[in-house]
Structure 1
C-alpha cells in the first residue's frame, strides 16, 4: 500500500444493499487503484421477549457469525466480478454507523448501501446510511439497489 492509493471503506452486512455497495466499491477500487476495507459491525443480541426463553447466543457466537457473513459476502461478490482487488476484512463490535464512521476517519471514501437489514421497506435511506452521510469526515457514496 502506498500513500497515494485511495483508502475506501465499505459497509457490509450481507443484505442485498450491502452487496451492491461492495460491488460498487470493488469496481471503483479497481479503476482508481485504491485499497478496500470491508467492514461488518456486530452487537451482542438482546432479549426481546420474556417467554419462551430463546437459547442464549454468546458474544463469541455473534462475532463468529459476523466473520462468516463478511467472508461469504466478500467471497461471493468478488467471484462474480472476477476482480483481483485485495479486500481487508474488518469485524467490529459496536453499532454499524459509529463503527463505519470510526474506520472511515482517515479514509478517502466511505461506501454504504441505501438499505441494510434494518428499517422499513419504504425508507429512501436507511438509518446507517443517513447517519454516515450526515457525520462522515470523508465523501460518502450511497449505492441504490441494483446500481452497477
Structure 2
C-alpha cells in the first residue's frame, strides 16, 4: 500500500529484441517479478530499415507483425510455469532507447540485455543499453547472457 491507501502496481520493464542477451534479460525480469509480486512489461521496438532505392514494399503491419510474433514466442518460452507472472507485451515503432525510457516511467526496474542485435557485438554494453543506463527514470539491471557465449 502506498501512503494514499491504494495498492500500487509493481512493474518491471524489460527490453526484448530476440537476441540471446535480451532473452536472458526477460528470464531475469520474470524471476524477479515472481519474487517481488511485480508484473513484467516486455517491450520490443522496430524502426524502418535504412535502405533506400531498393523498392521495399513492406508496411508498418509487416514490421509490427514480425515484432509481435518474436515477442509472443519469447514471452511464452520464458514465463516459468512453476512461478507464472503476468507479462504484458508492448510492440512499438521507434528508437529502442527512447521507447524503453518512456516505458520505464513509474516502473520499479528497467531490465535490459548487455547487447542486442546492434553493430559492435564485442562491446561490453550496446548503445541502447548505455543510453538507458545513463538516462533511465528508475534503477536499471543489465543482464549478461552467459549461457550462449562462444
Residue in 2 that maps onto 1:95: 95
Supply the distance in 1 between the matched residues of 2:146 and 2:123 (Cα, whole angstroms). Answer: 16
Cα deviation, residue 23, structure 1:
0.3
Residue in 2 that maps onto 1:7: 11
Structure 1: runs of 5 or more not aligned: none
TM-score (normalizing by structure 1) = 0.88
Question: What pairs up with 1:23-34 in 2 under 5 angstroms?
Answer: 23-34=27-38
Provide runs of 4+ in structure 1 moved above 3 Å: 2-5
TM-score (normalizing by structure 2) = 0.87
Answer yes or no: is the 8 Å Cα contact 1:45–1:57 preserved in 2. no
Q: Deviations over 1:79-111 (max 9, x none)?
A: xx3231010001111010000000101111100
Please report the RMSD computed on the Cα atoms of aligned residues, expressed in angstroms: 1.6
Structure 2: runs of 5 or more not aligned: 1-5
Answer yes or no: is the 8 Å Cα contact 1:10–1:38 preserved in 2. yes
Supply the distance in 1 between the matched residues of 2:103 and 2:56 (Cα, whole angstroms). Answer: 32
How many residues end up aligned between the 2 structures?
141
Answer yes or no: is the 8 Å Cα contact 1:17–1:113 preserved in 2. yes
